[in-house]
Amino acid sequence: MPLPFPRAIAVTAATLLTAAPVRAERIDRVVAVVGDRVVTHWDLQLEQTLDEHMPCPEPVLCDPQRPALDRLVDRALIRGLAGDTATYRPGPEDVELRLAALRDSWQPPEGYHQLLIAMGLSEHDLSGLLYSRLVVEHYVQRHVALPVYAAGGDEHTYQQRYDDWILEQRDQVRIRTIDADDGPAQDPGLETP
């Protein structure tokens, strides 16, 4: 005997849903928009965690005196400038070395796997994020560090040049920050609506 129509639909839907792969979806809030790039609270949490566990070869990008959101906005801005230009692309071995260094920085090692679970990341996802960080580092090395050091500058000169350069770049891109509690934030150096 055929099932009544509504019951047949329910049985079919249940069968399809049971067979579908389950994937966690992250619900997040936007904390900044940099040009056409969105920066979320999750991005901010991950940035802070990575900064604690990973050495930064470009100290100007990891200055602990600057708020994490400012550093993340700068990374988003620079990543947009770099685009997909081959000059800034790291090799797969560079990404794997950075991933291995991050993996080895956790004591006990289970902390690394707990990070992946807590952040809803696979190692492939994390490799993609590290790839973007490397692109940003390569861009800064080429456009800021190389000219400073080629002219005989030191770390202080490099930091000052970076600070001036990033402000120039921020003037070229619409940057909005959003504070979930009070509406738009009034962070210095960041444009708000």
pLDDT tens column, 31-42: 999 999 999 999
Residue 98's nearest CA partner among 68, 56, 62, 58 is 56
* Number of domains present in the structure of the chain: 1
**Does 31 fall in a domain?**
no
pLDDT tens column, 86-141: 999 999 999 999 999 999 988 888 989 999 999 999 999 999 999 999 999 999 99
**Does 15 fall in a domain?**
no
Question: Alpha helices of 141-154 — where are they, by DSSP H?
Answer: 146-150
**Does 169 fall in a domain?**
yes
Looking at residue 26, what is its pLDDT? 60
Domain that residue 58 falls in: 41-174
Q: Are 152 and 170 in contact (CB under 8 A)?
A: no
